[in-house]
Amino acid sequence: MAIRYKGRTFTSGRALADAMTRDVNQAVERKVRQAATSAGARVRKTAQGFEVEGDATKLGRFYTRLGR
């Protein structure tokens, strides 16, 4: 059995799961970076995750934008 996902054909469930996980991770990273940029904060990707830097006003705007 073959399943198509975003133009690719998968015959292995593991490969499909990996592709979907990668897409979700990329979408989350894109949302975090866009929210930080539009709020004026800086974001860094570290081994523990993302670090967002900025003053209290910028971080408040970041959290508001990320919640949308």
pLDDT at 68 over 80: no
Q: Fill in the amino acid letter for 10.
A: F
Domain borders along the chain are 3-67
Share of the chain above pLDDT 70, in %: 100
Helices and strands (DSSP H and E) totals, the chain? 2, 4
Handedness of CA 44, 19, 38, 61 (dihedral sign): negative
pLDDT in tens, 20-37: 999 999 999 999 999 999
Q: Quick one: which H or E segment has residue 27? A: helix 13-39
Q: What residues form DSSP beta bridges with 50?
A: 45
> How sure is the predictor about 67, in pLDDT bands with cuts at 50, 70 and 90?
confident
pTM of the entire structure? Answer: 0.80
